[in-house]
Amino acid sequence: MKFDNVMAEINGFGRFQKRMFILMVIPRMTLPLHFLLNNFIAAIPPHHCNISSLDDGGLFRNLSLEDRLVVSVPVQQDGTPNSCQMFAEPQYHLLFNFSNLTDLPTVPCQNGWMFDTTTFKSTLATEWDLVCDKKTVNKATATIFFIGVMIGAAVFGYLSDRFGRKKMLLLSYMITSVFGFASAFSYNFPMFAAMRFFTGLGISGISIISIVLSIEWVDIRHRTRVGVLISLDWSVNTALLPVLAYFVRDWRYLTATVTTPLLVAMISWRQNGLGYCSFMARIGVSLAPLI
């Protein structure tokens, strides 16, 4: 008998399949959360040059913050302070005359940047000053992550066929958890980029193995339904991520938060294994009269 015929014979969408489906939802929560995480942790808040070094103890100190910006940072066409340039020296005459700004000498930011933390308490940009000339480095984080996803799809596709889906699913849980939390504790950008690469590699295994397991272990009649239902986690958890980001505004805590469901998934992996043994015993009992 073909395996599909066996599944149809013993009710291919019974308690085991439903429990496995529910347990697979837990690790799959992390998929859209990690895939879209870069939209929040790599956000670039409004910023301008750090002008604290211009405080010479004289007139500059007595100015309000607004006036300090006027004499220290040129304005852009929209009236906001320039993000990457500052005046070479304080231009006190601008407090009284804004008519001539084009001939004033400017230099790149000399002492870092000051960021608006109203929306984001901390991001990659504020952590490592990934703005202006380094803005492309900030954007590269998403590319690095998805390169890991691409390679992981090939690696775990082969390994799950070679060594079994259950073992490789646990391995993908472990890889994503270890490197996901390591990303949150990175102390420089190269380390963070490497951790995100391996996080993408591991999470690719979760993506392909979980959906294959969910579909393989149901009968043909229910496969379309299961495939559609398990894909809905993308819609639900994509809507959940902005809510999490609203309350968790530090990039380190947000990265750790979206990785946390995998700790529960590793516990549920064992429960799924026990259910598998019970289900296989049931198959044996059901087919015994046919042998």
Distances in Å between the Cα of 85 and the Cα atoms of 23, 49, 100 are 53, 7, 17
3-state SS, residue 122:
strand
- Phi/psi at 44 (nearest 5 deg)? -110, 105
Greatest alpha-carbon pair distance for the chain in Å reads 98
In DSSP terms, which residues pair with 114 in a beta bridge? Answer: 48
> What pLDDT is attached to residue 184?
94
**Residue 176 in contact with residue 262, Cβ under 8 Å?**
yes
Matching residue, tokens 């990175």 = 186
Task: Report, in angstroms and rounded to the nearest whole number, the Rg of the chain calculated over CA atoms.
Answer: 27
> Is this prediction's pTM over 0.85?
no
**Pick from 140, 108, 162, 123: which is nearest to 42 by CA?**
123
> What pLDDT is attached to residue 283?
46
Cβ contacts of 270-274, under 8 Å, gap ≥ 24: 271/19, 271/23, 272/19, 272/20, 272/23, 272/166, 273/166
Residues (pLDDT < 70) of the chain are 1-12, 53-61, 97-102, 270-291
Q: Which residues of 72-111 are buried (b: 16+ CB within 10 A; e: fewer)?
A: bbbeeeeeebbbbbbbeebbeebeeeeeeeeeeeeeebee
User: Can you tell me the distance from the alpha carbon of 108 to that of 129, in angstroms, rounded to the nearest whole number?
Assistant: 13
